[in-house]
Chains A and B, each alone.
Chain A
Amino acid sequence: NAGVTQTPKFQVLKTGQSMTLQCAQDMNHNSMYWYRQDPGMGLRLIYYSASEGTTDKGEVPNGYNVSRLNKREFSLRLESAAPSQTSVYFCASTPGGHRTAAFFGQGTRLTVV
């Protein structure tokens, strides 16, 4: 029972390079989310997808794009990486509806040099 799976687990990019972080959940959840975690700042929402076919900006969307490929998969793309995007990225999913809790992946540690 994998839950939420993120790939890769670690990545080093040069400034200006692009990459896509992958996320897949096998729980048939409707909603998916991307957060970033920075020291002393907790987790901040980048983008979310309330349901398949929809995506919306969160608190810190600049420099990112997302794709809800299907119900299972939600990818996060950095078109031109910047050192400020060095962070740990977490994908999460929720079943949808009220009174539910989020399930998180193990995270992707990204370093931009």
Chain B
Amino acid sequence: AQSVTQPDIHITVSEGASLELRCNYSYGATPYLFWYVQSPGQGLQLLLKYFSGDTLVQGIKGFEAEFKRSQSSFNLRKPSVHWSDAAEYFCAVALNTGFQKLVFGTGTRLLVSP
């Protein structure tokens, strides 16, 4: 069965510093890949997605992610973090079917220090 690993439970970054959140997946083929963000008490908002093609994908709020097939990774990056980026971030994969059964990682909580 496919699985998603987010090795960092918490990450603290200074405001203005760069950010990289790690995501590794286990799946026999290339799945569809997603990053979602969840602010406290809120639902999940899609940051970006990868289906195929260019391995560097751009998302909302200045985020980007790079798909590396050889490493089974889909890491999320942002060059300069803002205090409003403090939230929980989830990586997810979906099978290549006509609908989506998402498998989520356990999440990484981002804290932004002044």
A interface list, Cβ under 8 A from B: 4, 30-31, 33, 35, 40-45, 48, 50-51, 58, 90, 92, 94, 96-107
- Give the 8 A-B residue pairs with the shortest CB-CB distance, closest first: A42-B104, A31-B99, A104-B43, A104-B44, A43-B104, A50-B99, A106-B43, A42-B106
Can you give 19 A-B contacts (C-beta < 8 A)?
A31-B99, A33-B101, A35-B104, A40-B106, A42-B4, A42-B105, A43-B90, A45-B101, A48-B99, A48-B101, A96-B99, A98-B96, A100-B100, A101-B49, A101-B100, A102-B46, A104-B36, A104-B43, A106-B42
- Nearest A residue to B32 via CB reads A99
B contact residues, total (Cβ < 8 Å): 26
Query: What is the bound-complex CA distance between A31 and B9, given in angstroms?
Result: 31
Most buried by A among B34, B44, B99, B101: B99
Contacts A42-B90, A42-B104, A42-B107 given; does A30 touch B43 at CB 8 Å: no
List residues of chain B with CB within 8 A of the CB of A107: 42-43
The residues of B that contact A97 with a CB separation of less than 8 Å are 98
Collect the chain B residues with CB atoms within 8 Å of residue A102's CB.
Answer: 34, 46, 100, 102
Besides A41-B106, A98-B51, A102-B46, 16 more A-B contacts (Cβ < 8 Å) are A33-B100, A33-B102, A40-B106, A42-B4, A42-B105, A42-B107, A43-B44, A43-B104, A45-B101, A45-B102, A50-B98, A58-B101, A96-B98, A98-B98, A104-B36, A107-B43
Report the separation of the CA atoms of residues A97 and B90 in the bound assembly, to the nearest whole angstrom. 23
- Smallest CB–CB gap between B77 and chain A, Å? 19
In angstroms, Cα B42 to Cα A107, docked, is 7
- Give Cα distance in the complex from A26 to B106, angstroms: 29
CA distance A30 to B34 in the complex (A): 20
For window 1-40 of B, CB contacts with A under 8 Å fall at 4, 9, 32, 34, 36
Contact A105 B43 (CB under 8 A): yes
User: In the complex, which residues of chain B have a beta carbon less than 8 angstroms from the beta carbon of A58?
Assistant: 101
